[in-house]
Amino acid sequence: MVNKIFITLLSLLFAQVASASDYSMIDDYVSNNKKLIQLPSGTAIAIIKDQKIVYEGYFGYSDIENKKKVHSDTVFYIASMTKPFYSLYMLLKEEQGKVDTQWPLAKLLAEIEFKPALQANKVTVQDLLSHTSGVDSWPLIQATAYTGQYDDNVLAKILEHSYVNENAPLGEYRYTNVGYNILSYWSDKNLNTLWQLGLNESIFKPLDMSHTSARMSDIDKNDWDYAHGYSVKSVDPEQRVYLQKTDKTMHAAGGMISTAKDLARFLITQVNQGKLDGEQVLPNHVIGKSQQKLIDYKDRGRQRAYGWGWQIRTLFDEKLLEHRGGFFGASTYMSFMPDKKIGVVVLSNQDKWGGDLAYAIESMGYAIALDKPNEEITGLYERNEAFVKKNTSKFFATKKGKSPEVNATISSDYLGTFIHDTLGTITVEKSNVTGHTISWGAMSSRLYKGDSPNQITAMFTPNYHESIVFMSSSDNKQYLKYRDYTFLKK
């Protein structure tokens, strides 16, 4: 009788352990989520604990049209998740004596005549990486992330026109790509290698991240399966979003492609202080520094912090370092708990609902890895799913089924190429196939009707319409105005 009781108790114990490490609830959640968002886009998930991957999940399609399923080697564009990699690259270079994170901007780029208000003698490398520099430049972001129309001379001109972020001056946190783009301009010129190659040699190769790159051209070169971007906001959600990244628009603040499995290796290295597969592949003190907090701030009333490319907060009363990435047709996430040696990666090739999916997987994944009670994990599942049901229902009830009216007629005066000294060229032309189109580097759009004969709207970025105004001067010169910037017709 005693033996039977012992065996029964032992069986219950093993059942509880199995339940605690059972991630099948995540499989069920993701499958249901794809039905709710009405899009069979792809998702790749990896969860690590201690020194290994304890869960991998692959769902949906990397290419909906051709029914290519996501698998362990499918690469996703990870957008701003590039930041922790570039920050770590700078810290590794500091370890080698190539840079000092306390160097001021005036020392880094002595050849650039920054405006006095920027206090270039006080802004440091650390400020640039922690979003506390107070420096802003919409043209820099536009050129490096969207149009790709730049060279070193153009970037130098753009940097000279940088301006103070009035909402977050030097010393205050405000998330932006600008600091990383400024620093990569310097590193490309002074570290004897482009930042893309630097990341490859310093991080990707040592960690054997075999399907990771900072160049889009490596997809075709290596015949990798790539997760093309989709959006439920599109008129046809199963059609790829048109705006694709190129080598020229892959930048240090958001310029990497990778897999869930490769990113899991990065997180394993993080939670084991530079060790991977039993070897010290990165200096432990550099990894330790990379996880330090640099600035406190509040986000919608919640206490947050930022470090060397990592957002820092708590989850289940444990310290959590994370970073998200977002672009048209892409939503990505990775995080880790350094004290518990747990990490989560979630990659999706759809934009609107990707963040909600990532945080749902985050909450359930950490709860399971931390051996939380089953009822708590089930509650997380139900609350997250209820949230998505409510929001998707509201979205589809109000979604517009078609684009604005195409502009079929436009004055011949407004056809041609318009030039800006730093923002490049915008070309308006007539096509026998698509009607009038407007293109700006990697971006292009059909022309849609505006509110007046000299105004049109365009979708330079997917599903987002913006106004463009054509103007003529008294000396018969034609101009195109986009936002606060004026382009002169060639």
Q: Reply yes or no on whether the pLDDT at 15 is more than 50.
A: no
Q: At 21, is the pLDDT very low, low, confident or very high (cuts 50, 70, 90)?
A: low
Residue 33 one-letter amino acid:
N
Span 153-175, pLDDT tens digits:
999 999 999 999 999 999 999 99
At 36 the pLDDT is 96
Q: Which residue has the higher pLDDT, 125 or 5?
A: 125
Q: At 407, is the pLDDT very low, low, confident or very high (cuts 50, 70, 90)?
A: confident
Q: Reply yes or no on whether the pLDDT at 17 is more than 50.
A: no
HEC-encoded secondary structure of 171-197? CCCCCCCHHHHHHHHHHHHHCCCCHHH
Collect all residues with Cβ–Cβ distance below 8 Å to 335 and sequence separation of at least 6: 320, 321, 322, 323, 343, 344, 362
Span 420-459, pLDDT tens digits:
999 999 999 987 666 789 999 999 998 988 888 889 899 9
Q: Reply yes or no on whether the pLDDT at 475 is more than 90.
A: no
Q: Highest-confidence range of 20-29, 312-321, 427-436, by mean pLDDT?
A: 312-321
Determine the average pLDDT of the residues in 295-310: 93
At 433 the pLDDT is 66
271-285, 306-320, 402-416: the lowest-pLDDT one: 402-416
Span 365-389, pLDDT tens digits:
999 999 999 999 999 999 999 999 9
- Separation of alpha carbons 222 and 301, rounded Å: 46
At 174 the pLDDT is 96
Say what percent of the chain tops pLDDT 70. 94
Collect all residues with Cβ–Cβ distance below 8 Å to 440 and sequence separation of at least 6: 147, 149, 424, 425, 426, 427, 460
Long-range contacts of 447-454 (CB under 8 A, 24+ apart): 447/406, 447/407, 447/410, 448/403, 448/404, 448/405, 448/406, 448/407, 449/404, 449/405, 449/406, 449/407, 450/407, 453/411, 454/411, 454/414
At 8 the pLDDT is 42
What is the DSSP track for 302-356? EEEEEESS-EEEEETTEEEEEEEEEETTEEEEEEEETTTTEEEEEEESBSTTHHH
Span 59-95, pLDDT tens digits:
999 999 999 999 999 999 999 999 999 999 999 999 9
User: Rounded to 10 degrees, what is the CA torsion of 207, 345, 60, 200?
Assistant: -30
DSSP reduced 3-state for 201: helix
Of the candidates 35, 54, 36, 37, the one whose C-alpha atom is nearest the C-alpha of residue 45 is 54
Q: Hey, what domains does the chain have and what are their CATH numbers?
A: 24-85+195-398 (3.40.710.10), 99-190 (1.20.58), 412-489 (no CATH)
Q: At 14, is the pLDDT very low, low, confident or very high (cuts 50, 70, 90)?
A: very low
- Separation of alpha carbons 52 and 277, rounded Å: 9
* Strand-by-strand arrangement of the 43-49 sheet: 52-59, 43-49, 342-348, 330-337, 318-327, 311-315, 302-307, 293-299
At 16 the pLDDT is 40
2-16, 130-144, 248-262, 424-438: the lowest-pLDDT one: 2-16
CA separation, residue 393 to residues 29, 89, 204, 297, 348 (Å): 17, 43, 42, 34, 21
Asked whether 343 and 267 are in contact (CB, 8 A), the reply is yes
Q: Reply yes or no on whether the pLDDT at 297 is more than 90.
A: yes
Q: What's the token pair of residue 87?
A: 């920050």
CA separation, residue 486 to residues 145, 193, 411, 471 (Å): 20, 35, 18, 10
Say what percent of the chain tops pLDDT 90. 85
Helix (H) or strand (E) holding 109: none
User: What phi and psi values does residue 376 have, to the nearest 5 degrees?
Assistant: -70, -40
Mean pLDDT taken over the chain: 93
Q: At 405, is the pLDDT very low, low, confident or very high (cuts 50, 70, 90)?
A: confident
